[in-house]
Amino acid sequence: MSFFVRFWGVRGSIPTPGPQTQRYGGNTSCVEVEVDGVRYICDAGSGIRELGIELMSSNLGKLKAHFFFSHMHWDHIQGFPFFGPVYVPDNHFTIWGPKTGDRRFARLLQGQMHSSYFPVDFQDLGGTIHADDLGDGDRVVDGVRVRVFHQHHPGVSYAYRFERDGVSVVYATDSEIDLDLDDPDLPMRDSRALRAVPSDLVEFCRGADLLIADGQYTDAQYPKFVGWGHARATTVTDLAVHAQVKQLAVFHHDPMHTDEQIDMLVKHCQDRAERHGSDMLVFGAREGFELELGQQF
């Protein structure tokens, strides 16, 4: 079995091209999971354009791929009209809804290609595109078990877990997971202790080979943005420690953070994991990075 993860867009909120973001990248969310040649595409931010270019240049023949959207905020769908393979006849794509009968994602993608927003209508795309759903949130899709988790984010968002032959990756962006901050029903906690995070999310992520998680804010920033639907990178680290994941990719980088600031943020996360006795690998998600899962490190 081959199981690859590739990062095509790692930035949050808005694309940020320029010299200060060139190492981690400025494109918005898009992650490709490839299992035995089948592609599972998580979100279609501006990074998906580069994925499309790569697929078009690879001469793969007829392409089959599955789309899984965390949610429909602009930075997660804006690249879809620029994804070249959807214009090619004989290519086949499925847009998956998170629960039975849910076709919202397909409808909203069609809506953003209305002539008021884009010159090419969704109906004029050459590829075959249809909508399906994950039923009760746990379904096998082309041999890969896909599970869905309802996250806390304005307008709602969803995390996905992809599993095959004991290998798993969790894609969990745009999720506010802090339970400790300013909650009068929780006791004061030692700032050095692991923070309280949703227990059901911990179980959803349990033992994953790779957790890709929204860690947009620093500890200093977060109090100003409570309720915006994003997490502190250090709290995401605590989630990963609780769940005993093997690797953590800090994702959805703040559009105001330079490469150097992300370096420092990731270093704080690495130090925090080590202080809590975890030997997991912590890194900042970076455009163009490819990871093969199921290998011995």
Task: Spell out the residues 6+ positions from residue 105 whose beta carbon is closer than 8 angstroms to its own.
Answer: 67, 69, 72, 95, 96, 97, 131
The CA distance from 37 to 2, in Å, is: 8
Looking at residue 216, what is its pLDDT? 97
Q: In this structure, what CATH number is given to the domain that contains residue 32?
A: 3.60.15.10
Q: Please give the backbone phi and psi of residue 170, each rounded to the nearest 5 degrees, phi first.
A: -115, 130
E strands, the chain, are 3-9, 30-35, 38-42, 64-68, 92-97, 128-133, 138-141, 144-151, 157-164, 167-172, 210-214, 247-251, 281-284, 290-292
Q: Is the pLDDT of residue 189 over 80?
A: no
pLDDT of residue 192: 66
Report yes or no on 83 lying in a domain. yes
What pLDDT is recorded for position 191? 60
- Pick the residue with more confidence: 28 or 61? 28
Average pLDDT over residues 156-174: 97
Residue 184 has pLDDT above 70, yes or no: no
Q: What phi, psi does 267 have (nearest 5°)? A: -60, -40
31 lies in a domain? yes
Q: By CB neighbour count within 10 A (0-12 exposed, 13-18 middle, 19+ buried), where does 186 fall?
A: exposed
Q: How far apart are CA 33 and CA 7, in angstroms?
A: 9
The predicted model gives 129-136 an average pLDDT of 96
> For residue 185, is pLDDT > 60?
no
**Total number of domains constituting the chain:** 1
Q: Judge whether residue 183 has pLDDT over 90.
A: no
Could you give the CA distance from residue 206 to residue 276 in angstroms, rounded to a whole number?
17
| Neighbour tally for 37: CB within 10 Å | 10
Q: Using CA atoms, how far apart are residues 143 and 33, in angstroms rounded to an integer? A: 13
Whether the predicted pLDDT of 181 surpasses 80: no
Tell whether the model's pLDDT for residue 187 goes beyond 80. no
Per-residue confidence (pLDDT) for residue 91, from 0 to 100: 95
Q: For residue 297, is it within any domain?
A: no
Q: Which domain holds residue 245?
A: 3-292
What integer pLDDT is reported at residue 186 of this predicted model? 47
What is the per-residue pLDDT across 200-248, written as a single tens digit (0 to 9) for each?
Answer: 999 999 999 999 999 999 999 999 999 999 999 999 999 999 999 999 9
pLDDT at position 17 is 95
Taking a C-beta distance cutoff of 8 angstroms, is the pair 127, 92 a contact? yes
The 3-state secondary structure of 251-282 reads: ECECCCCCHHHHHHHHHHHHHHHHHCCCCCEE
Q: What is the pLDDT of residue 294?
A: 83
**pLDDT of 295 higher than 80:** no
| Nearest residue to 213 (alpha-carbon basis) of 242, 251, 157 | 251
Q: What is the pLDDT of residue 210?
A: 98
In a domain, 90, yes or no: yes
Looking at every residue in the chain, the average pLDDT score rounds to 93
Q: What is the DSSP letter of 186?
A: S
Mean pLDDT calculated for residue range 37-60: 94
Q: Which of 22, 17, 12, 20 is nearest to 43 (CA)?
A: 12
pLDDT in tens, 56-108: 998 777 899 999 999 999 999 999 999 999 999 999 999 999 999 899 999 99
Tokens 């075959």 belong to residue: 128
Cα–Cα distance for residue pair 22/14, rounded to 1 Å: 15
Average pLDDT over residues 122-151: 96
